[in-house]
Amino acid sequence: MEDILTQARKRLIFALDVPGLEAAIPLMDSLAGEIGLVKIGLEMFVKEGPKIVNEARSRDLECFLDLKLHDIPNTVESAVRSAASLDIQMITVHTAGGEQMLQRAKEAAGDIKVMGVTLLTSMDELDMEPAGFIRDTDEVVRRRALLARACNLDGLVCSSKETAMIRQIVDTDMTLVVPGIRPAGYAADDQKRVATPCEAIRNGASYIVVGRAIRDAEDPTTAAREVVKQIANGIENPG
C-alpha cells in the first residue's frame, strides 16, 4: 500500500503558468517526482503547443491540458479529438457549452479524462448579475454538475466551497479537481472562492491545483513538499 505522502503527491497538480519553455523546463526539472501532474493552460499551450506536453512527459509528469474548451459542438469535438492524439491524461471543457457539446467532447476523448469546468473560481456572487446569471453561484454549480454527470464526463473542476454539495449529487467516484488553492498565509490574488490544501482535501477534492505559491517560491521544490504535507494532513485527518 502506498504511504500517505505518496498518495498526497499524486493529488497535487502544479499550474505551469509561465510564458514559455525557457521558464517551464527548470520548474519541471525541480518538481519531477514531487507532484502528480502539471496543468498546461492557455498561455503555455498557445505559445508552445505539443512541445510542452512532450517535455513534461519526458520527465514522467502527467499532463492536465486546461483549455476550458467552449464552442459549438463540432469545433469542440474536433479539438478534443486532436488533443487525444497527444500524451495527455486530462482535458477541460466548459459546462456552459451545453449538453450536445459535452457529449461530443466525451465521445471524442478516447482514454483522456474529460473534466467539466463549472464556474471560474475568480467569480463570486458580486460577479454573477453583471455576467448575465440569474442564479447564485451554488445553484449554477449544482445545475452544471448534474449536466456533467448526465453527459458522462469523468469529473469536474470546481471550488472547494462546492465539493461537499457536488459529492451529494454526483457519483462518489467522480474526479473533482479544485483550483483556487492557497496555502495558509498566502494571498488570494485574483481568486475569490479559495481554500487551503488541507481544507480542499477534507472537503472532498480528488486533486488540488497550486500555481503561484510553488512557482514564485524561493525554492519551488521545498514549497511543493510543504503543500504535499498539507494534503497528507487532510487525508489523515478528514475532519
Q: Which of 17-21, 42-46, 123-127, 196-200 has the lowest mean pLDDT?
A: 123-127
Q: What is the pLDDT of residue 1?
A: 52
Please indicate whether residue 139 or residue 223 has the higher confidence score (pLDDT). Answer: 223
Residue 164 has pLDDT above 70, yes or no: yes
* Mean residue pLDDT across the chain: 88
Q: What is the pLDDT of residue 225?
A: 96
- Render pLDDT for 103-149 as a digit per residue (tens, 0 to 9): 999 999 999 999 999 865 565 555 544 444 545 677 888 888 999 99
User: Is residue 110 packed enough to be buried (19+ CB in 10 Å), middle (13-18) or exposed (0-12)?
Assistant: exposed
- Render pLDDT for 20-30 as a digit per residue (tens, 0 to 9): 999 999 999 99
Q: Are 187 and 213 in contact (CB under 8 A)?
A: no
- Render pLDDT for 66-104 as a digit per residue (tens, 0 to 9): 999 999 999 999 999 999 999 999 999 999 899 999 999
Q: What is the pLDDT of residue 187?
A: 52
Q: What is the tally of structural domains in the chain?
A: 1
**From the CB of residue 235, how many other CB atoms can be counted at a distance below 10 Å?**
15
Q: Which of 36-50, 118-132, 158-172, 206-220 has the lowest mean pLDDT?
A: 118-132
Q: Are 141 and 119 in contact (CB under 8 A)?
A: yes
The percent of residues in the chain predicted with pLDDT above 70, rounded, is 87
Domain carrying residue 65: 4-236
- From 109, 124, 95, select the one nearest 190 (Cα to Cα): 124
Q: What is the pLDDT of residue 184?
A: 65
Please indicate whether residue 207 or residue 138 has the higher confidence score (pLDDT). Answer: 207
Which pTM does this prediction carry?
0.89
Q: Is 68 a catalytic residue?
A: yes
CATH of the domain at 213: 3.20.20.70
Q: Which of 85-99, 169-183, 200-214 has the lowest mean pLDDT?
A: 169-183
**CA-to-CA distance for 209 and 220, rounded, in angstroms?**
15
**CA-to-CA distance for 71 and 211, rounded, in angstroms?**
27
**Region 17-45 average pLDDT:** 96
Residue 233 has pLDDT above 60, yes or no: yes
Residue 172 has pLDDT above 80, yes or no: no
Q: Are 4 and 235 in contact (CB under 8 A)?
A: yes
Residue 213 has pLDDT above 50, yes or no: yes
Q: Which amino acid is at 121?
A: T
From 39, 51, 68, 161, active-site residue: 68
170, three cell numbers: 454526483
